[in-house]
Amino acid sequence: MRKDLTTAPLREHLAELRANIDVAKEPSDCEGLFRQIAKNSIQAIRRECVLAAAGKPDAIHNMRVELARLHAAALFFSPTIDETAWAPVNTQLHWLNSALGEARDRDVDID
């Protein structure tokens, strides 16, 4: 049975991620570009979360792919990222990736 991804903890983690990533309107520097990438990734993850709750088979995988993109962007832009501000976001990303990994493993076992 697929784990319900609409649970309160997931919604809370996504809301916290969104709140911690303040996005510039028109990025013109590396930090602004990273914030835009992060915003786009969080929006994609939220969309896929809704689809996962509706039973779309690839939604969990798509969320994990988006998390990998965000992680890669964070590594690329790490010289411009404020470590103090990023630490709580990174903690939330690790939690989300772990939860999605468990759900994906169960999906693969079912198939």
Type of residue numbered 75: L
pLDDT tens digits for range 71-98: 999 989 988 888 888 888 888 888 888 8
Q: DSSP readout, 24-90?
A: PSS--SHHHHHHHHHHHHHHHHHHHHHHHHTT-TTHHHHHHHHHHHHHHHHHHTGGGS-HHHHHHHH
Q: What is the distance between the alpha carbons of residues 60 and 53, in angstroms, rounded to a whole number?
A: 10
Mean pLDDT by runs of 10 across the 111 residues of the chain is: 52 65 59 88 91 86 92 90 86 87 67 58
pLDDT attached to residue 83: 85
